[in-house]
Structure 1
């Protein structure tokens, strides 16, 4: 499907009931009436129950795209099970009380049916979507506000798709603006902290100037996007896409297109992109592929304006990878690995997968953090299917301790100047709880419930670690500011589902206790 912005807006404006009625009234060419009726029923079920998260045309939104191209590794019986029973530790609800088995089967069959015209998003489409919104040469290159530019917080409000720029000293908003739908993967910053880059699930990449508090450029890099990374020299933005499965290299100065790299294995097998991060000491991007057993390292060291540098160095993995964390020296990555029931460790210098780590449940390694304990690094990861924190020795990758929690968690955060690692209980009946883990004794020192009955999650520290901000993920939620030493509440700022917040200084310095 060759997508045009005006066409997208036009289609989105057509009432769902009208489009379904048209489908029901007009059989597809060459289709028997009974088959056309079955198709219309499945289409109606999709529009009623699925399109809000997965997009009216199945191209994805808050949830992933639901097309044969993106469901290749999921068997139809598994898809029916997910529709029926939901997916644990995700926003995918169970529909067994709303749909009978025949409806579930019809809906599953519909998802595996190719679109009438295969969805594509070409180089020309990317270039046509590019929107320069400001002339950077005419804008001041120093902050036009009196806040500390390295202690700003970028707060994503998922409830109504807005972003707030918050002064991290006074905890007052400097700006608030509308974002694209379902920002994902966390915003990333230029090395000097001036620009922040956002990627939305529907493929839009935006560049915002934190000095001048204005948007400066946008481009649609794909149809269903995973995340993006910024090179540590400030020259490149690399975007990883689920649909189409590729990497898109943009000029970090204005988001103009420089290169598109298909995500394909050495044998040509296509893949989606699971995650892309920058590895500053290596001068490279590191990419995990979702559908082939490969990790790519793409060096940008020595790149020039005339020659985009990205050629993948392929590293064989033992399993498909969903997400990963680097060790503090960036020599190894610890990757989520489903078949290993925990994780696998890949050495980037040698290009070898060196060990598996047998951890229970579904550890969320991409949100894991490192800190110093008795002078030595430890790595801790939450678990999205079991109530425990696993603490590992990164020298040997052996388990130091499992810390029981009140339920499965999603995020962990700390700071070099904090005695605690903060972790949420994101899933289950106790999701209003946040645990404070003593980083030396590896025990829960305190449990907070900021707003009883409402989901508390995602902590971010101020640059100096004196304060921390915690989100209450609710439409009538809040951003709560704590003194990190006394744990006393300093301020409560009402917000519409503040899903995440990101401190400029901590992010550009890759501070201890945070993640990519």
Structure 2
């Protein structure tokens, strides 16, 4: 088992960042800088605040990671020097963020106060603030939690308003940022953008279905897809909301976690019709495709969150059940998909699995690890 240390191991010579990444240590407000090729921990960066629901995006060159903390903290870290470059506390409660297509702007999605703030990626100076204000039931102004923030082509950010049931687009390409508001389904809780950047899809907690916006034709408005996918079935308690950002596209089909059901949903990408429901061992949280689209890896919510199940994308059958440790929280594929790293919070470890053999090849120690984010995300829309 590889041990993590507090001291940062500076590279002995010039190096790139293509095989580096960050692992969130949620209980200690720190991140581990790791090397995926060597299965090594370069060191720990501390002082990042509350990382209980943290995520990371990267600068275009993969050198800097922008860490979004639950306490509203936005931290910029240097993966090559192991330094905390800058940190701002920009809200009372935040829930992730995104970096613009050109790398100039970093946006943060906030619960409290509800809205989105956009910062200069170099200096972390505030560029624009977008309060998520909508007309409430009594006719007066109210402020909504914002969720599902992603970057989109055209230097846009797209996000959803949980309380308002709306989807907003923020165009940063114009001299003055432009906001467009569209009505969506009830209580969007998370969202994704398809790999080609065309479709923005928000999961709905208030109803069985999803809201979709075609960014090529936004004038068509938001449409509902997979309506009533749980109709006639008894819903189960939801202990942890699914994460749509880790959705899967494989073989012309999309794979979604079902809310309140022990199922992975399979939909056709041409007309978004429901094709199949795959029964799994618990309520899915992350449903992720390997880079070659051959496998779908699924993690689960409490209380059955100590396992991972692997689905064959062609046969739609569960082919392997793995036990990486207690309280599995996140998975991340290496850029070309030969391995997947899996964090187990309550076992204080990250296990590296071979996607060919489905067997563990290494284990790294970490303090209450959660999110795993590799620098290959710097070149991917929506991540």
Q: TM-score range by the shorter chain?
A: 0.7 to 0.9
Distance (Å, rounded) in 2 between the aligned partners of 1:346 and 1:302: 21
1:323 correspondence with 2:190: yes
Distance (Å, rounded) in 1 between the aligned partners of 2:214 and 2:74: 31
Q: Which of 132, 150, 153 does residue 277 from structure 1 map onto?
A: 150
1:446 correspondence with 2:313: no
Contact 2:115–2:129, Cα closer than 8 Å, also in 1:
yes
Q: Which of 332, 335, 340 does residue 202 from structure 2 map onto?
A: 335
What residue number does 1:108 align with?
none
What residue number does 1:299 align with?
171
Q: Which runs of 5+ in 1 are unaligned?
A: 1-142, 304-308
What residue number does 2:45 align with?
177
Distance (Å, rounded) in 2 between the aligned partners of 1:465 and 1:318: 35
Cα distance 1:502–1:331, how it changes in 2: closer, same or farther (>3 A)?
Answer: same
* Larger Rg belongs to: 1
- Equivalent residues in 2 for 1:283-432, closer than 5 Å: 283-301=155-173, 309-348=176-215, 349-351=217-219, 352-357=221-226, 358-360=228-230, 361=235, 364=242, 366-373=244-251, 377-417=252-292, 419-428=294-303, 430-432=304-306
Displacement of 1:152 in angstroms is 1.0
- Equivalent residues in 2 for 1:143-154, closer than 5 Å: 148-154=16-22
Cα distance 1:233–1:302, how it changes in 2: closer, same or farther (>3 A)?
Answer: farther
The structure with the greater share of residues assigned to strand is: 2
Cα distance 1:400–1:459, how it changes in 2: closer, same or farther (>3 A)?
Answer: same
What residue number does 1:499 align with?
370
Displacement of 1:381 in angstroms is 1.5
Displacement of 1:435 in angstroms is 0.6
Which portions of structure 1, spanning 4 or more consecutive aligned residues, are displaced by more than 3 angstroms? 143-148, 266-269
Contact 1:405–1:425, Cα closer than 8 Å, also in 2:
no
Residues 226-245 of structure 1 deviation map (CA, whole Å, 9 limit, x = unaligned): 22111121111111211112
- Equivalent residues in 2 for 1:258-269, closer than 5 Å: 258-265=127-134, 268-269=141-142
What residue number does 1:157 align with?
25
Cα distance 1:434–1:370, how it changes in 2: closer, same or farther (>3 A)?
Answer: closer
Q: CA RMSD in A?
A: 2.3
Displacement of 1:384 in angstroms is 5.0
The structure with the greater share of residues assigned to helix is: 1
- Equivalent residues in 2 for 1:46-61, closer than 5 Å: none
Give the secondary structure class of the aligned counterpart of 1:193. coil
Give the secondary structure class of the aligned counterpart of 1:282. coil
Contact 2:24–2:51, Cα closer than 8 Å, also in 1:
no
Contact 1:456–1:470, Cα closer than 8 Å, also in 2:
yes
Residues 404-446 of structure 1 deviation map (CA, whole Å, 9 limit, x = unaligned): 1111121122322362111113322x32221110011111111
Distance (Å, rounded) in 2 between the aligned partners of 1:147 and 1:415: 27
What residue number does 1:482 align with?
353
Distance (Å, rounded) in 2 between the aligned partners of 1:181 and 1:456: 19
Q: How many residues align?
A: 357
Displacement of 1:171 in angstroms is 1.1
Distance (Å, rounded) in 2 between the aligned partners of 1:245 and 1:310: 18
Displacement of 1:472 in angstroms is 1.3
What residue number does 2:380 align with?
510
Residues 459-514 of structure 1 deviation map (CA, whole Å, 9 limit, x = unaligned): 2111121121111121x421111222122321111222211101111x12228xxx
Distance (Å, rounded) in 1 between the aligned partners of 2:37 and 2:14: 11
Whose RCO is larger (CA < 8 A, sep 6+)?
A: 2
Q: Which piece of structure 1 moves more, 362-371 or 162-171?
A: 362-371
Contact 1:372–1:378, Cα closer than 8 Å, also in 2:
yes
Distance (Å, rounded) in 2 between the aligned partners of 1:183 and 1:191: 26
Give the secondary structure class of the aligned counterpart of 1:508. helix
- Equivalent residues in 2 for 1:75-224, closer than 5 Å: 148-178=16-46, 179-224=48-93
Displacement of 1:185 in angstroms is 4.7
Give the secondary structure class of the aligned counterpart of 2:321. strand
